[in-house]
Amino acid sequence: VIPSYMKQDVVSPDDDSYESSRRLDSTMINVEVDPYNAYHSPNAPQVLSDTDLVSTELGMRARKACNCTKSQCLKLYCDCFANGEFCNCCNCINCHNNLDNEELRQQAIRGCLDRNPNAFRPKIGKSKAGGPEIIRRHNKGCNCKRSGCLKNYCECYEAKIACTSICKCVGCRNVEDTLERARGRAA
């Protein structure tokens, strides 16, 4: 059973385009999301293809496939679940983040929102003080202890933004001039 907020074009087997639409089904999924759903914000239909580009407030980003093994993709450390998306082309095992397990998925979402109302909001947002250029900043900050915030498991470093006073990191070396040097090497 497909929930009312998920719509899909149905082609009958009698139709001449049935065979071509079956071939397209494996490469492209047209999904319309309920705009009243608090944890998933897009109002327009998204088309997910093999390249899996996902639109965000700050532009397009490549979608990361999850590798969950024991969480059944129903915990916030599953990137797909945390972004309010179903798993698609992922490497997960025993996945419950799909339409077949929608009831379990909704229970997990309600549980997460009961514990933390901001659970499904993005961690990296736009700064209030901006001009023509969008300034990105971490809404909560990182908690790094030994990495000096120079490894990809630092949320700020991974998002290519400098740590701020909001962060609770120890021995931070992820400051603006470090980022400028890294950008210069990449160019």
Domain assignments of the chain as residue spans, ordered by start: 18-115, 137-187
The pLDDT assigned to 182 comes to 63
Under the banding of pLDDT at 50, 70 and 90, the label for residue 103 is very high
Say whether pTM exceeds 0.75: no
Q: For residue 10, what are its two tokens?
A: 């149905």
Q: HSE of 15 in the Cβ direction (CA atoms, 13 Å)? A: 10
Return the minimum-mean-pLDDT range out of 4-13, 80-89, 92-101, 109-118: 4-13
The pLDDT assigned to 126 comes to 64
Q: Where is pLDDT greater, at 22 or 116? A: 116
**Tens-place pLDDT, residues 13-38:** 555 444 444 444 433 444 444 444 44
**Tens-place pLDDT, residues 132-177:** 556 677 678 889 999 999 998 888 888 888 898 889 999 999 987 7
Measured over the CA atoms of residue 75, residue 77, residue 79 and residue 84, the dihedral's sign is: positive
d(CA 121, CA 63): 17
